[in-house]
């Protein structure tokens, strides 16, 4: 099964670079201008950029984020104050500069941005056309670029649940013969870090399958642990990230806030649980249930250091995320080597073992928090069994 695994870069993108180059985790990077300056992109090694791509991030066009405003083609910057009704006059200029930047930096493809619109308006397609799609594709065609072209499609969970709306989008997109693929983002609101809705996950898999059957390549972005389920769609490229805002999409990271936010407690990705749990809970399981811990946790140099540190690392420690990169890339590589029926069987066995582990942890009196308690395992099992 052919798919690529890409780092969704964010804050402290150096961790992604180091994981890719030093640990061999993943196949490339997705550059994030909201977190990476123009200079940092320009000075990145050409060989890395040749297997990576740039996400223009036009999602929130009036964003005041400092690094975004460094890019002269960002809507707020080029407009000197974004106004929807006035941007049409500047859209082609923005498209020219953004496309040329991606080509000059020798990324492996050109990415066409779209705006994040969270309502299924009848004007949805027209608005996206005027905002970026038409001017970008016009410039790519007129400049004679022959790079692969991917259109960003940022959807809500309601959009993928609405079959009619999704069909209209695919009809629109496949009307462009020069589009090679989609860079797909699905915003899934939830009260747990893992998606627990069977309906949403099934619709997500169906949407990816329909995109692939239309002849388009697809990168499913901003993925959390549900990436293991998405391997059940042939040839769908997947992503993984460090901080949650690279694993769960939200426009919040494009909004400037002046609030003092309390950082979250440190979590460790535990492969056998298909989940992140508090580091303190991981240590408790290791102490009380050592045999189970050895069964569900595949150690890395990073997790060993974090677990044995005299002072618990904070959520800002690279150790926890670099361990995640190692563990997740190993899991996905294991699935990548299998045929569909074998992948399905392997996933079901992982889910069964995870459920057994959660039961044993609960029976031992260890109370995991709401996010780490494994509520996603049963719905995920149902989704896989339905395929």
256-286 residue pLDDT tens: 886 656 678 899 999 999 999 999 999 999 9
What pLDDT, on the 0 to 100 scale, is given for residue 2? 80
Listed residue (21, 104, 384, 212) closest to 220, CA to CA: 212
Q: Is residue 363 part of a domain?
A: yes
Q: Is residue 260 part of a domain?
A: no
Q: Is residue 259 part of a domain?
A: no
Return d(Cα 51, Cα 34) in angstroms, integer: 20
Listed residue (186, 214, 191, 180) closest to 201, CA to CA: 186
Q: Which DSSP letter does residue 312 get? A: P
Q: 347 and 248 in one domain?
A: no
Among 229, 254, 279, the domain-final residue is: 254
Neighbouring C-beta atoms of residue 147, cutoff 10 Å:
17
What pLDDT, on the 0 to 100 scale, is given for residue 264? 80
Q: Mean pLDDT for each consecutive 10-residue tract of the chain (387 residues)? A: 91 97 98 97 97 98 95 96 92 98 98 97 96 97 96 97 97 96 97 97 98 97 98 97 96 82 85 97 98 97 96 90 98 95 98 98 97 97 97
- Identify whether the C-beta of residue 302 lies closer than 8 Å to the C-beta of residue 319: yes
What pLDDT, on the 0 to 100 scale, is given for residue 257? 80
Q: 176 and 49 in one domain?
A: yes
Q: Are strands 149-156 and 267-270 parallel, antiparallel or unpaired?
A: unpaired
- Identify whether the C-beta of residue 133 lies closer than 8 Å to the C-beta of residue 112: yes
Q: Is residue 197 part of a domain?
A: yes
Burial of 27 (0-12, 13-18, 19+ CB in 10 A): middle
- CATH number of the CATH domain containing 72: 3.20.20
Q: 219 and 100 in one domain?
A: yes
Return d(Cα 346, Cα 349) in angstroms, integer: 5
What is the Cα 166 distance to its own chain's centre?
A: 20
Total structural domains in the chain?
2
Q: 275 and 183 in one domain?
A: no
Q: 334 and 304 in one domain?
A: yes
Q: Which DSSP letter does residue 225 get? A: T
- Identify whether the C-beta of residue 209 lies closer than 8 Å to the C-beta of residue 386: no
Q: 222 and 283 in one domain?
A: no
Return d(Cα 190, Cα 379) in angstroms, integer: 14
Q: 278 and 244 in one domain?
A: no
Q: Is residue 109 part of a domain?
A: yes
Return d(Cα 229, Cα 195) in angstroms, integer: 11
Which range marks the domain in which residue 309 is found?
267-385
Among 254, 275, 295, the domain-final residue is: 254
Q: Is residue 171 part of a domain?
A: yes
Q: DSSP strand E in the chain: where?
A: 5-8, 28-31, 53-54, 110-112, 149-156, 181-187, 217-220, 236-241, 267-270, 275-278
* Dihedral sign, Cα of residue 272, residue 275, residue 280, residue 281: negative
Q: Is residue 150 part of a domain?
A: yes
Q: 40 and 99 in one domain?
A: yes
Here the tokens at position 383 are 């989704």
- Identify whether the C-beta of residue 194 lies closer than 8 Å to the C-beta of residue 224: yes
- Identify whether the C-beta of residue 240 lies closer than 8 Å to the C-beta of residue 7: yes
Phi/psi of residue 50, each to 5°?
-65, -15
Q: 61 and 98 in one domain?
A: yes
Q: What is the mean pLDDT of the chain?
A: 96
Here the tokens at position 292 are 């189970």
Q: Side by side, which strands form the sheet with 236-241? A: 53-54, 28-31, 5-8, 236-241, 217-220, 181-187, 149-156, 110-112
Q: 279 and 342 in one domain?
A: yes
Q: 271 and 249 in one domain?
A: no
Q: What angle do CA 158, 160, 164 make, to 5 degrees?
A: 95
Return d(Cα 38, Cα 47) in angstroms, integer: 18
Q: 358 and 215 in one domain?
A: no
Here the tokens at position 347 are 């996933």
Among 222, 254, 286, the domain-final residue is: 254
């Amino acid at each position: 099964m052919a798919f690529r695994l890409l780092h969704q870069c964010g804050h402290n993108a150096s961790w992604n670079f180091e994981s890719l180059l030093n640990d061999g985790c993943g196949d490339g990077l997705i550059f994030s201008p909201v977190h990476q300056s123009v200079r940092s992109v320009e000075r990145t090694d050409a060989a890395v950029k040749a297997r990576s791509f740039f996400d223009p991030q036009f999602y929130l066009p009036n964003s005041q984020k400092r690094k975004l405003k460094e890019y002269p083609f960002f809507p707020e910057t080029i407009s000197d104050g974004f106004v929807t009704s006035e941007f049409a006059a500047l859209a082609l200029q923005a498209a020219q500069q953004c496309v040329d930047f991606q080509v000059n930096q020798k990324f492996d493809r050109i990415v066409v941005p779209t705006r994040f619109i969270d309502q299924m308006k009848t004007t949805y397609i027209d608005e996206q056309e005027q905002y970026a799609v038409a001017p970008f594709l016009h410039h790519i065609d007129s400049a004679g670029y022959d790079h692969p072209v991917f259109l960003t499609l940022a959807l809500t969970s309601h959009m993928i649940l609405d079959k009619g709306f999704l069909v209209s989008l695919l009809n629109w997109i496949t009307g462009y013969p020069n589009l090679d693929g989609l860079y797909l983002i699905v915003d899934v609101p939830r009260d747990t870090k893992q998606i627990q809705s069977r309906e949403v996950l099934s619709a997500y898999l169906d949407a990816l399958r329909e995109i692939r059957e239309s002849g388009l390549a697809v990168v499913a972005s901003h993925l959390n642990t549900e990436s293991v389920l998405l391997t059940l769609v042939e040839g769908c490229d997947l992503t993984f990230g460090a901080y949650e805002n690279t694993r769960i999409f939200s426009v919040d990271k494009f909004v400037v806030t002046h609030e003092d936010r309390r950082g979250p407690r440190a979590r460790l990705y535990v492969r056998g649980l298909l989940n992140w749990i508090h580091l303190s809970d991981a240590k408790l399981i290791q102490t009380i249930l050592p045999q189970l811990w050895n069964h569900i946790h595949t150690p890395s140099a990073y997790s060993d250091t974090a677990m044995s540190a005299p002072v618990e690392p904070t959520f800002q420690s690279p150790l926890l995320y670099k361990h995640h990169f190692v563990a997740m890339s190993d899991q996905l590589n294991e699935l990548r080597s299998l045929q569909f029926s074998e992948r399905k069987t392997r996933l079901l066995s992982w889910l069964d073992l995870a459920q057994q582990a959660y039961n044993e942890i609960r029976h031992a009196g260890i109370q995991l928090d709401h996010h780490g308690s494994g509520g996603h395992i049963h719905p995920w099992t149902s989704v896989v069994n339905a395929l």
